[in-house]
Amino acid sequence: MDHLVPAAPWLLALAGVVSGVACLAAGRGVPWQARQMALLRSAALLALAFGGGETLPRLVIGVALLLSAMIGTIGVRGSKSAPMCFHRALVSLVLAICLWDTVAGPAATSTSAAAGPHDHGPAFTGVLSVLGIVGVVGVVLWTIVSEHVLEPVRGRRAQTMLAVESWSMAAGVAVLCLAV
């Protein structure tokens, strides 16, 4: 995983951009709640790639993702788009948790002079790490199961774009929680 770590923020940004573009390309098959989460997540992952490993930007991006997840579930209870919106909200929440875990971990508090070449990423200690790992597993399982269980969106193009977006989100969550 060491060779992946330097490129992880840019892989995240790529996953975010692919997810945002696929969501926009799906058109009317995506409600505004899910669209705003995908676009904000894309912007947040680009900001993370450009912002580096500073603590304050990670905290702010985590708060923005949390607020986006909360706004993204407004008014969807009982609708056909509820699973889609909750899936995206879960992704935003897991990304926020993983960002906060990297800020709270020992690797974030060590000074650069004392940090060794392998002092990066989450420390996998504490409650945030457990929630992050469970969240990653949940997002990947939801992505797999939703393709077979949930009613597909009308239109083959929209369905393909949403599948691309879902897998891009799952890949982005896995990279963030395991490598950044």
Nearest to 95 by CA among 51, 59, 55: 59
Domain assignment of residue 22, yes or no: yes
In this prediction, residue 155 carries a pLDDT of 72
Coil, helix or strand at residue 62: helix
pLDDT in tens, 57-106: 888 888 999 998 888 888 888 777 788 788 888 888 888 888 887 776 55
Domain presence at residue 95: yes
Domain membership of residue 61 (yes or no) is yes
pTM above 0.85?
no
| 1 in any annotated domain | no
d(CA 142, CA 47) in angstroms, rounded, equals 27
Q: How far apart are alpha carbons 141 and 50 in whole angstroms?
A: 30
pLDDT digits (tens, 9 = 90+) for 84-96: 788 888 888 888 8
Q: Which amino acid makes up residue 52?
A: G
Q: Is residue 129 part of a domain?
A: yes
The range of the structural domain enclosing residue 139 comes to 8-179
Tally of structural domains, the chain: 1
Q: pLDDT at position 111, please?
A: 45
pLDDT value, residue 115: 44
Q: Does 125 fall in a domain? A: yes
Query: Considering the domain boundaries, does residue 2 fall inside one?
Result: no
Distance CA 54, CA 78 (A): 40
> Mean pLDDT across the chain, nearest whole number?
76
Residue 113 pLDDT level (bands cut at 50, 70, 90): very low
Query: Does some domain include residue 41?
Result: yes
In which band, very low, low, confident or very high, does the pLDDT at 120 lie, cut at 50, 70 and 90? very low
